[in-house]
Amino acid sequence: MQRPEAIQQIRAAVHGIAASVTGIHPLVPKLADAPTQAELLKALYELTKQVEVVKKHLLKLEKRDDSTVL
């Protein structure tokens, strides 16, 4: 597998993770327990941040010029 294919597969997986995390958000209020809700929302926020980190690094890798020509 070459880099572009790996990037595409990782990007697809990250998109799935992001969609799952987004789907959890509307369920949190239904727990009706403020401390649990607060902790879950913090955790979901951290997950979202880390997904964005992965996406950012993939984008940087795609744009990086690996040529050795000066």
Condensed to tens digits (0 to 9), the pLDDT of residues 30-48 reads 999 999 999 999 999 999 9
Distance between CA atoms of residues 21 and 39, nearest Å: 14
Q: Please give the tally of structural domains in the chain.
A: 1
Of the chain, the end-to-end C-alpha distance in Å amounts to 28
30, part of any domain: yes
Q: What percent of the chain has pLDDT over 90?
A: 83
Specify the pTM: 0.80
Range(s) of the domain holding residue 7:
3-59
For residue 41, what are its two tokens? 């929302």
* Contact indicator for 28, 40 with CB cutoff of 8 Å: yes
Distance between CA atoms of residues 60 and 46, nearest Å: 21
11, part of any domain: yes
